[in-house]
Amino acid sequence: MITKCLFPAAGYGTRFLPATKAMPKEMLPIVNKPLIQYGVEEALEAGLKEIAVVTGRNKRAIEDHFDISFEMEQQILGTDKEEYLKGVRRLIDNCTFSYTRQIQMKGLGHAILTGRTLIGDEPFAVVLADDLCINTEGDGVLQQMIKLYKQFRCSIVAIQEVPDEDTAKYGVIAGERISDDIYRVTSMVEKPQPEDAPSNMAIIGRYILTPDIFDLIAETEPGKGGEIQITDALMKQAQSGCVLAYKFKGKRFDCGSVEGYIEATNFCYENLYKTDSE
């Protein structure tokens, strides 16, 4: 059973300056909920109740959000405002939260390795909160991937097709098709130029990882930009064992970009917020 979900949340969010100068990018609101809350809700839906967060400087707001605010809650006690906290209180009541700090920003692979002390020697999920994934017609993306893990018992990355000109923004895979939406990874390249990309199937911010990934990351040399890339460690894992890529069902919004953030806000307002308010 997978019970733990790791949230790498130490990045600076420079594309949203000045808003992120003093506020974590993971706390940017999509309508009335911060990005990271959507991710934790997705994890809980998939049965992952142990939430591990890799934070950094100026990220205390994340810890405060998933905690009780006695003064505020006392102030709104008995009013209709209590309803607004119902969602986050459900997470506080049903999940445990643990935190560690990434002292230096050395890439996603390094952030995941930093979380080793919170995860231990067991398989786990990883969610990048600024990739907002929503499936209004069925299981959330993590829940879909957990079901696959129960069948295949190996690392799994979520993928989607992207325009060829956008491959330089992502890790990109090539693989042997197992079914319509599952591939066995044979190649994985971090942010290739279109002419060098093995396909247009890009990895997005949802992973299921087996615990041997930690040793593989520790052995991985820094790659592009001096960062330790999770794709390099996953490629080693694919060569020595098996890594699957899963073309998930649902919509994904790149909330690390202004355009994706606005698109996500509009979608959630029309399809979630207004529906819940009716």
The tens digit of pLDDT for each residue in 141-180 reads: 999 999 999 999 999 999 999 999 999 889 899 989 999 8
For the chain, how big is the Rg over CA atoms in Å?
18
Q: Is the pLDDT of residue 117 over 60?
A: yes
- Contacts for 188-192: CB closer than 8 Å, 24+ residues apart: 188/231, 188/234, 188/235, 188/238, 188/243, 189/231, 190/223, 190/224, 190/229, 190/231, 190/232, 191/167, 191/224, 192/167, 192/168
Q: pLDDT-derived band of residue 4, with 50, 70 and 90 as boundaries?
A: very high
Give the burial class of 257: count Cβ atoms within 10 A of its Cβ; 0-12 exposed, 13-18 middle, 19 or more buried: middle
Q: pLDDT-derived band of residue 224, with 50, 70 and 90 as boundaries?
A: low
Q: What is the spatial distance between Cα 182 and Cα 157, in angstroms, rounded to a whole number?
A: 10
Which pair of structure tokens corresponds to residue 162?
């992207």
Q: What is the spatial distance between Cα 99 and Cα 118, in angstroms, rounded to a whole number?
A: 8
Q: Is the pLDDT of residue 277 over 60?
A: no
Q: How many CA atoms lie within 13 A of 141 on its CB side?
A: 32
Q: What is the spatial distance between Cα 197 and Cα 26, in angstroms, rounded to a whole number?
A: 30
- CA–CA distance from 134 to each of 39, 44, 265, 267, 271 (Å)? 10, 14, 12, 10, 10
Q: What angle do CA 134, 146, 270 make, to 5 degrees?
A: 10
- CA–CA distance from 3 to each of 57, 76, 110, 118 (Å)? 27, 34, 22, 12
Q: pLDDT-derived band of residue 71, with 50, 70 and 90 as boundaries?
A: confident
